[in-house]
Amino acid sequence: MSDSDGKKPLGIRGGPGSVKQSFSHGRTKSVVVETKRKRVVVPKPGVPKPASAAPGNKPMKSDPARRPAGISDTEMERRMKALSLAKAKEAEDAARRAAEEKAREEERGRRRKEADEKAREEAEREAALKAKEEEEARAKREAEAERTRAAAKPQKKAEIPDDPAAAQAAIQKQGERPGRGAAAAPRAREREEPNRNTRGKGDADSRRSGKLTVNQALTGGEGGRQRSMAAMKRKQDRMRQKAMGSNEPREKVVRDVQVPETIIVSELANRMAERVSDVVKSLMKMGMMVTQNQPIDADTAELIIEEFGHKIVRVSDSDVEDVITKIVDDEKDLLPRPPVITIMGHVDHGKTSLLDSIRNASVTSGEAGGITQHIGAYQVVTDGGAVLSFLDTPGHAAFTSMRSRGAQVTDIVVLVVAADDSVMPQTIEAINHAKAAGVPMIVAINKCDKPDADPNKVRTELLQHEVVVEAMSGDVQDVEVSAKTGKGLDQLLEAIALQAEILELKANPNRVAEGAVIEAQLDVGRGPVATVLVQNGTLKRGDIFVVGEQWGKVRALVNDKGDRVEEAGPSVPVEVLGLNGTPEAGDVLNVVETEAQAREISEYREQAAKDKRAAVGAATTLDQLLAKAKADQTVAELPILVKADVQGSAEAIVQAMEKIGNDEVRVRVLHYGVGAITESDISLAEASGAPVIGFNVRANAQARSTANQKGVEIRYYSIIYDLVDDVKAAASGLLSAEVRENFIGYAQIKEVFKVSNVGRVAGCIITEGVARREAGVRLLRDDVVIHEGTLKTLKRFKDEVKEVQSGQECGMAFEAYDDIRPNDVIEIFEREEVERNLD
């Protein structure tokens, strides 16, 4: 059937979209599919692809008979393209995997090759090293043989005579065969020549063996590690000593080993120049299983040192202070020095006014409240040219430590007693300080210009304290003075000069300085400032010193008049600038050579003080822990934070605070110091809920702002009276109020009634006093207290009343108690809380 027949095949329609079959030799070759868009030839199943279907050409459409139903030509074409892309991707993955496998094989081959090369190099290096060792051993054997021959040569020379005939006979006698002696000597020399040449070559090789060559540097010879120069020198020394025949052991070096209280094992071995393993082994033999990093005590270290043949030198941490040596001055170097006079006495007896009259100054006007609250140091030149150094101490009870320091550094004590007030508590304390210090005393009876002055009363009362003045046939000088009118000042200065002349005060100004801190403060512009009284030597600008837990370098020296000076000799009070911190009043100042020494001493003292404070505050036993816990529970505390202008005032305030309190309440000073109130002080006070007390100091702007934000109270004081009184009042507020009972009446039960919703009610008559609704009651039966409580109801007739007077009848019901009987007595009382104060 063909298209020319004009008939359409069965089931096949013509026109666009029809399918035409073509025949070749009676067999169907392909099906031509005509669409509206394009004409595509799809091969029949089982028929080879035409050339147009080769790769690279457009894919051909599948047989419509094998195409799933509902699949369009476009969808079929898309699927065929996706299939061809998947096959192409699979082919690329296979090619990539093959390439990676080939690369891995190459890498494995390269690594095997490198390993073989490395093994070959290692074998060559070991062979070279072995050959070198054999060469060294051969050279060593030849050297030994040469030394043996050299040792035997002198003996042979001595045995062989100079005469040839005699030499021949001697050789034959030693065992040579006859007729060969003449030829033996040349052969012996020939044997010696090669040995000599070989020995020189061996020595040269051994000398060159320690040198680094370019080949060794590139190959990292001997495993990349070379012997040090010191090791090579030691080896050469050993070889030289061995060649000289000295096989004696080296003499052991005995060392002086410094051992502190505890020392690390490795450090001990280093100080002895011994191996650490040997030291550890010795310790283990002693039964101590320790390692090289563990500490041992000094006694154990001493046993180890003695075992190794060394000498022990025991040292301690306090040895750092050995640089501060006590110098014994020669009598030829001592020169006269001014006396140091301390003014002591009761408060408001005119000590500072008396000193102002002597100095023609006015210090009292600058003191708050007109009382001295600092210790002052001044130097006065009298009309006669004598130089006097005065120390003015406070008279208030809180400044006991200041008066004690003044008495310890002084030569003469002037005891000021008011003629109108006589002997007072601080006067007695000053007498005791002077006696404890062992210094002479001069009594100045002040205020003799007042109408009610009675100097004889003062002299008489001083007898009670074993102070006998010259007017009472004693040995203590007394002078009647008046600071206001100037009466008796000349006699007082004359008495001081006479006492100083008797004492013959001398010091050596040509030595390192030594002094005592009279007062210390933290100045805003100048930093820590210490008032120092030089006791010996001369303190110069630039000196390095240590004072207590602080150290520094003298930056400036300021005298009592405010002038800067270059140096200060004995008995001269000066202000010292250049400290790294504020020292404690009473600390000793010592000049040292270097800054490192001063810093080391300061650190040791600081650590010692910290350990001491920790030991004092620590509870070591269970009983102490329990007692401390019980005390903390029962005792109320008032925490405060104190900042003062000078160190002495801060100490005096702390001592006064410690005296405030009893078994129920106490004042605890969290922190005290000198200088302005800072932000850190406010933070500490806020964390502890404590107020901040400023004595003659103020808070800076940041501290004030922080205090306002956190609600911390800051109180300022300039007089210690007010400070102590306010703190005492605040501590009194922590005391629990005292409860007192006041009996207000008695009632007798006549009859007992039972009332619904109320219980048992007692019909009573008030026999004494009054009954109140809110009062407490006790039920007495045969004068024995049966119940104590409160009233539930108090009625008169049917009305609830607050109070029933004596002689009236009423009804009473107890709160939660019904066991009441006729003829019982009700005791009525009120409780009153009374505030307590600290005495």
DSSP per-residue letters across 537-566: S-EETT-EEEETTEEEEEEEEE-TTS-EES
Q: Return the closest-CA partner of residue 674 out of 717, 714, 640, 642.
A: 642
Neighbour tally for 535: CB within 10 Å: 18
Report the alpha-carbon distance of residue 699 to residue 669 in Å, rounded: 18
Q: Return the closest-CA partner of residue 170 out of 159, 179, 178, 183.
A: 159
pLDDT 10s digits, 693-736: 998 888 888 888 888 988 889 999 888 878 888 888 888 777 76
Non-local (6+) Cβ contacts of 9 within 8 A are: 1, 21
Q: Please, is 211 exposed, middle or buried when counting C-beta atoms within 10 Å of its C-beta (0-12, 13-18, 19+)? A: exposed
Q: Please, is 752 exposed, middle or buried when counting C-beta atoms within 10 Å of its C-beta (0-12, 13-18, 19+)? A: middle
Report the alpha-carbon distance of residue 575 to residue 556 in Å, rounded: 8
Q: Please, is 680 exposed, middle or buried when counting C-beta atoms within 10 Å of its C-beta (0-12, 13-18, 19+)? A: exposed
Q: Return the closest-CA partner of residue 682 out of 624, 643, 629.
A: 643
Do 751 and 809 contact (CB within 8 A), yes or no?
no
Indicate the angle between helix axes 298-307 and 265-272, nearest 10 degrees.
Answer: 40
DSSP 720-786: HHHHHHHHHHHHHTTSPPEEEEEEEEEEEEEEEEEETTTEEEEEEEEEEE-EETTSEEEEEETTEEE
Q: Return the closest-CA partner of residue 391 out of 410, 373, 369, 418.
A: 410
Tokens of residue 520, six digits: 């210390």
Measured at the CA of 134, the angle between CA 133 and CA 138, to 5 degrees, comes to 120
Tokens of residue 282, six digits: 């010795």
Report the alpha-carbon distance of residue 646 to residue 519 in Å, rounded: 7
Non-local (6+) Cβ contacts of 816 within 8 A are: 789, 792
Provide the pLDDT for residue 85.
92
Do 638 and 734 contact (CB within 8 A), yes or no?
yes
Tokens of residue 101, six digits: 């496998």
The three-state secondary structure class of 248 is coil
Provide the pLDDT for residue 437.
78
The segments of the chain whose pLDDT lies below 50 read 1-42, 44-62, 154-162, 164, 167, 170-171, 174-190, 192-202, 221-222, 361-374, 395-399, 619-620
- Phi then psi for residue 531, to 5 deg, are -90, 115
Indicate the angle between helix axes 400-408 and 647-658, nearest 10 degrees.
Answer: 130
Tokens of residue 303, six digits: 């046993």
Do 366 and 358 contact (CB within 8 A), yes or no?
no
What's at 821, amino acid-wise? R
Provide the pLDDT for residue 211.
60
| CB burial string 418-433: b at 16+ within 10 A, e below | bbbbbbbebbbbbbeb
Report the number of secondary-structure helices (H) and strands (E) in the chain. Answer: 19, 37
DSSP H stretches of helix in 590-735 = 595-617, 622-634, 647-658, 679-688, 701-710, 720-732
Do 60 and 79 contact (CB within 8 A), yes or no?
no
- Looking up tokens 């010592």 gives 590
Neighbour tally for 377: CB within 10 Å: 23
Report the alpha-carbon distance of residue 144 to residue 127 in Å, rounded: 25
Provide the pLDDT for residue 261.
82
What's at 803, amino acid-wise? E
Non-local (6+) Cβ contacts of 630 within 8 A are: none
Provide the pLDDT for residue 692.
92
Non-local (6+) Cβ contacts of 423 within 8 A are: 417, 458, 461, 462, 464, 465
Provide the pLDDT for residue 747.
92
Neighbour tally for 470: CB within 10 Å: 14
Provide the pLDDT for residue 4.
41
The three-state secondary structure class of 39 is strand
DSSP H stretches of helix in 346-464 = 351-359, 400-408, 425-437, 455-463
What's at 605, amino acid-wise? R
Percentage helix, strand, coil for the chain under 3-state DSSP, each rounded to 5: 40, 25, 30
Do 520 and 674 contact (CB within 8 A), yes or no?
yes
Q: Return the closest-CA partner of residue 303 out of 266, 268, 253, 275.
A: 268
> Considering just the CA atoms, what is the radius of gyration of the chain in Å?
57
The three-state secondary structure class of 489 is helix
264: left (phi over 0), alpha (psi -120 to 50) or beta: beta
Do 576 and 530 contact (CB within 8 A), yes or no?
yes
Q: Return the closest-CA partner of residue 394 out of 367, 419, 420, 412.
A: 367
Provide the pLDDT for residue 657.
86
How distant, in Å, are the alpha carbons of 312, 401, 518, 648, 727 from that of 656?
50, 11, 20, 12, 10
* CA dihedral for 677, 680, 683, 684, sign (positive or negative): negative
Report the alpha-carbon distance of residue 183 to residue 197 in Å, rounded: 22
Q: Return the closest-CA partner of residue 558 out of 570, 566, 569.
A: 566
The three-state secondary structure class of 393 is coil
What's at 94, amino acid-wise? A
For the chain, give the number of residues.
Answer: 839
Measured at the CA of 510, the angle between CA 504 and CA 514, to 5 degrees, comes to 75
Provide the pLDDT for residue 390.
86
Tokens of residue 713, six digits: 């109270």
What is the greatest pairwise CA distance in the chain?
Answer: 179
